[in-house]
Amino acid sequence: MKKILVSGGSGFLGSHLCDRLVAKGEDILCVDNFFTGSKRNITHLLGQPNFELLRHDITFPLYVEVDQIFNLACPASPIHYQLDPVQTTKTSVHGAINMLGLAKRVKARILQASTSEVYGNPDVHPQIEEYWGNVNPIGIRACYDEGKRCAETLFFDYHRQHNLEIKVIRIFNTYGPRMHPNDGRVVSNFIVQAIKGEDISIYGDGQQTRSFCYVDDLIEAMLRMMESPAEFVGPVNVGCPVEFTMLELAEKVLKLTGGTSKLIFKPIPADDPRQRQPNIDLAKKWLGWEPKVSLEDGLSETIAYYRKRLAE
């Protein structure tokens, strides 16, 4: 049994990761300050003997003894990370320093949940790990984009300077149950609006693309990355290599919900990427991983979750 720390463990991705690790019989320390995470996501785990919850903000040091660290703590949707941009940057940078310092002290392997947003509004498509990105360093999204880029810098400097065992994954759009209904992300927006019979908001002309990975597939990749050979540190893209336009996504959501909502078009937000699609050749080679859940099946599971939650 390994003692594993999951920062951001009560969030959307973190709670699903905790589920898998608890089921494996590992000893889990879930750390969260509940800025965007929710106790409802991990309530079902509180009675498990191998699960412990600690309220803590990783911008402050943490003194515990662990074997592995999954660093997921950071608000990930524009609505949340732009609410307090200075704190968002501190979470990415100070949080990384504190988690890396902990990993160095206890000689733990540490995985960083980075993001496709490090690529910014890409002029290389699909995005490969060698691409350095096209990010606006002073824009409204920079607190998240540049915060995550700096966190990657810190991880690789700790690896080179202190021989720390690191793993870095770049997460592309992921969706599924436990996404916050008001997080402003496109999948949750479309589903909630369709279920409520409200107009579906399309930003721009609806031709911008995203790729959507179901949460179960993402967590599987994360677990495989943590257990991958020490020489493979990443970064590695994790996401679905099939892209869809926003209009295509809206049509699928309306079909699966049986909704009759109208589509309305709004101005596109500043620095919103035009295209987003991962090249996952590295993940296939080193992790033997590629997504298995189709968009239709994943959306159906997510819609069922939101129907139940919105009825509460």
Q: Which range of residues forms the domain containing residue 22?
A: 3-175+213-240+277-291
Residue 213: closest CA among 288, 294, 126: 294
User: Is the separation of the CB atoms in 143 and 89 below 8 Å?
Assistant: yes
Looking at residue 169, what is its pLDDT? 98
Catalytic residues: 144
Residue 200 domain-assigned? no
- CA dist 296 and 216 (Å) reads 14
- What residues contact 145, with CB distance under 8 A and at least 6 apart? 115, 117, 118, 120, 135, 136, 139
Q: Which long-range contacts (CB under 8 A, 24 or more apart) does 307-310 make?
A: 307/195, 309/181, 310/181, 310/192, 310/195, 310/196
Q: Is residue 118 part of a domain?
A: yes
Q: Is residue 264 part of a domain?
A: no
Burial 41-79 (b: 16+ CB within 10 A, else e): bbeebeeeebbbbeebbbbeebebebebbbbbbbbbbbe
For residue range 7-60, what is the model confidence (pLDDT) as tens digits?
999 999 999 999 999 999 999 999 999 999 999 999 999 999 999 999 999 999
Counting the structural domains of the chain, the total is 1
Q: Is 246 helix (H, G, I), strand (E, B) or coil?
A: helix
What length is written for the chain? 312
Residue 286, judged by CB atoms within 10 A of its CB (0-12, 13-18, 19+), counts as: middle
Q: Is residue 232 part of a domain?
A: yes
Segments in the chain below pLDDT 50: none
Query: Which pLDDT value is given to residue 78?
Result: 81
Single-letter amino acid code for the residue at 265? F
Residue 309 placed within a domain: no
What is residue 196's predicted lDDT score, i.e. its pLDDT?
93
Would you give the distance in Å from CA 40 to the centre of its chain? 18
Is 268 domain-assigned? no
> Is 217 within the bounds of a domain?
yes
Q: Which two tokens stand for residue 83?
A: 């609410």
CATH code, 11: 3.40.50.720
Residue 252: inside a domain: no
The pLDDT value recorded for residue 59 is 97
Write down the pLDDT at residue 80: 83
